[in-house]
Amino acid sequence: MFGFGRRKSTDARGSVPGPDASAVPDAPVAQPAPTESAEQVVPGPVEAPLAANALQLVAAGAGLTALCTGTTVWLHSGALGLGELDLVDIDLRVEVGGSSQEPLVHDAVMDWYGVLDGMDPLDVQRLVNGWNDRFVGPRVYSWRDGQGHLRIRGEIVMTWWRGHTVAQVDDFLRVVVSAALNLSEWLEEQWPSVDRLTPETVPPENGVALTGDDRGLEETERLAAQFVTPGNPFGLLKAETAPVTADRIADLFAARSGQRSQVSDDGVLRIRWGEPAVDIAVHDAVLTISSGAEVMVADPEQIPDSLLEVTWKWSTNRAGAVAVVHREQNGPTFLVYALHQFVGMGMSDGQLAMTASRTCELVADCMLELAGEITGGR
């Protein structure tokens, strides 16, 4: 039922800035997307729960059993007996957020039961960095719960700047489940014998569950028609979407700046967003917006502890971006900051322009701060 692979494409390595980055100053400077008007963004206090209800309905249409508890939709939980997915000791939920000041966000959280107490957090991060360098989703990081236990969490965060269609949500959910299965297998390979404890975050008992067979997209769209609310970015939209490509993003940016950046032969659009260069690429229905810098290391085979600490810190923000240390085969080492977004069902022009613009802004700003932290502001 869920056939989406989330391994990074080999071609995606082209999105990492290489030694030829000296050519970047010739790239046009991109312009931010226009601010949404008050007439376009009108979510009220009940919109996030309604968006969660819509997500639950689409999940049921895809053949999942989904329990909605306010603004969280649970898809797998041992505490609830939600165990239809072949996930080993992982709770899977989607937290729906946003407000009149913030866009609609789906945060798919994968909490593993394993506890890594007694292990060196930097050794754990070394393995986690390897995962994040190989896979576009979920991003993975270690964290300590309220009892001080060292745990592992996976996340896929999707920000819907202009709402979403039923098809886009259906695709997102299938990606999430596929990625969670991939993560579950990897975790059991890395730490098969560690102690297991139920995560602290468990579903309340007053949720409402929906389930069903995989009806297919057309039938799910019919069932979800009640949630289609034109003009409200917290509702389901009925919109024309087109495949997301780097060339299409270049055209959208050119419409605002008056100057079009060229897409390279390996499919990468490179622009300047303020100070750092930002690379935009689409591979295997994944939009990756990244920025990076070469780092000098004494031993190319060994990542310094200081860089591991940085990658951990910068892989836990709310937007879902990830920091990785990436080494080219027999080549230089890069520190890369990237946000991967799953766009298998395409986007409208409005969705894509806002998503690309805001993501470039986030990646550029964070890369500047990250670089400043490493160099001490030099």
d(CA 10, CA 167): 27
d(CA 88, CA 183): 10
> Can you count the helices (H) and strands (E) in the chain?
7, 14
Checking phi first, is residue 222 left (phi over 0); if not, alpha (psi -120 to 50) or beta? alpha
Single-letter residue type at 69: T
What is the side-by-side order of every strand in the sheet holding 268-272? 268-272, 277-283, 286-295, 333-342, 322-327
- In degrees, to the nearest 5, what angle opens at C-alpha 373 toward C-alphas 370 and 378? 110
The DSSP 8-state label assigned to residue 227 in this structure reads G
String of DSSP letters for 1-56: ------BPPGGGGGGS--GGGGGGGGSPBP-PPPPPPTTT----TTHHHHHHHHHH
pLDDT the model gives residue 22: 32
Using 70 as the pLDDT threshold, list the residues of the chain that sit under it: 1-46, 377-378
d(CA 205, CA 197): 20
d(CA 203, CA 239): 34
Q: CA-based Rg of the chain, rounded to a whole angstrom?
A: 21
Separation in Å, CA 14 to CA 253, 254, 270, 340: 21, 22, 11, 14
Q: Where are the domains of the chain?
A: 10-375
CA torsion through residues 207, 213, 215, 216, sign: positive
pLDDT the model gives residue 205: 76
Number of Cβ atoms within 10 Å of the Cβ of 57: 23
d(CA 44, CA 46): 6
Phi first, then psi: what are they for 48, rounded to 5°?
-65, -45
Check: CB of residue 113 under 8 Å from CB of residue 90: yes
pLDDT the model gives residue 202: 80
What kind and span of H or E run contains 75?
A: strand 72-76
d(CA 3, CA 10): 19
Check: CB of residue 330 under 8 Å from CB of residue 280: no
- Tokens 């993501």 sit at which residue? 359
